[in-house]
């Protein structure tokens, strides 16, 4: 039996996923990665929980229901492409967004609530991004100069989600519960 990982993430609206998928389709012909992320799996991770204990998870869910009512919907703008890992052979290709105080505030609240629920979380600084591909496999060194996200794209973030990872499936992430922000911006 495999153990699933759980995480809280900002859910992208369908239109944003479609837009990003269109841009990734253009890049697939130019870049060789082992795995391109399924568009349904596009998200911005807020807190990675890993394997969970039911009591801690239920406690965190109660806190997230409250947090979602304390945050308004907000706009985010896709602006760039980037990589994690060695410049010549990156592990991750990602789409980035403009800095957003509202996103950082949400992430801080979600992260804190998870810690208060007993989860031990990664201490790395929050670097909001949307993973689009994994493990570069090209014959030549990766060319970072080819990373352009043609045109800006703005979307409204209106919810975050508790996801469960289903290894070996596509899409890989299963929605456990959505948390919708209140409507005032």
Residues above pLDDT 90, as percent of the chain: 72
Mean pLDDT over residues 16-41, rounded? 91
How sure is the predictor about 21, in pLDDT bands with cuts at 50, 70 and 90? very high
pLDDT recorded at residue 60: 96
Mean pLDDT of 120-125: 92
Catalytic option among 19, 38, 43, 71: 43
Q: Indicate whether 91 belongs to any domain.
A: yes
Mean residue pLDDT across the chain: 91
Task: Give domain status of residue 161, yes or no.
Answer: yes
Gyration radius from the chain CA atoms? 17
DSSP at 151: S
Distance CA 183, CA 121 (A): 30
Whether 157 maps to a domain, the answer reads yes
C-alpha span between 6 and 121 (Å, rounded): 12
Is 183 within the bounds of a domain? Answer: no
Per-residue pLDDT tens digits for 124-166: 999 999 999 999 998 888 887 777 766 679 999 999 999 999 9
Using pLDDT thresholds of 50, 70 and 90, give the confidence band for residue 185: very low
Kindly state whether residue 184 falls inside one of the protein's structural domains.
no
Say if 22 falls within a structural domain. yes
1 within a domain of the structure (yes/no): no
Total domains in the chain come to 1
Domain range for residue 78?
Answer: 6-178
Asked if the peptide bond before residue 99 counts as cis, ω within 30 degrees of 0, the response is: no
pLDDT tens, position by position, 41-85 = 999 999 999 988 889 999 999 999 999 999 999 999 998 889 999
43 belongs to the catalytic site: yes
Residue 126 lies in a domain: yes
Backbone angles phi, psi at 174, to 5 degrees: -105, 130
pLDDT, residue 1, reads 41
pLDDT at 149: 67
Q: Catalytic residue at 71?
A: no
Distance CA 55, CA 111 (A): 17
Residue 78's domain is classified under what CATH number?
3.90.1140.10
């Amino acid at each position: 039996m495999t153990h699933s990982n759980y995480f809280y993430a900002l859910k992208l609206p369908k239109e944003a996923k479609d837009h990003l998928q269109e841009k990734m389709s253009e890049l697939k012909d130019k870049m060789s990665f082992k795995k391109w992320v399924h568009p349904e799996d596009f998200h911005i991770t807020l807190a990675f929980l890993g394997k969970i204990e039911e009591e801690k998870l239920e406690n965190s869910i109660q806190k997230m229901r409250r947090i979602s009512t304390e945050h308004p919907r907000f706009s985010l703008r896709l602006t760039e492409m980037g990589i994690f890992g060695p410049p010549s052979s990156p592990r991750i290709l990602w789409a980035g967004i403009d800095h957003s105080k509202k996103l950082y505030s949400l992430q801080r609240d979600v992260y804190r609530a998870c810690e208060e629920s007993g989860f031990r979380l990664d201490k790395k600084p929050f670097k909001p991004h949307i993973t689009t591909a994994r493990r570069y496999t090209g014959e030549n060194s990766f060319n970072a100069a080819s990373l352009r996200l043609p045109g800006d794209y703005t979307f409204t973030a209106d919810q975050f989600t508790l996801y469960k990872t289903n290894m070996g499936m596509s899409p890989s992430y299963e929605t456990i519960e959505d948390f919708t922000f209140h409507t005032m911006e």
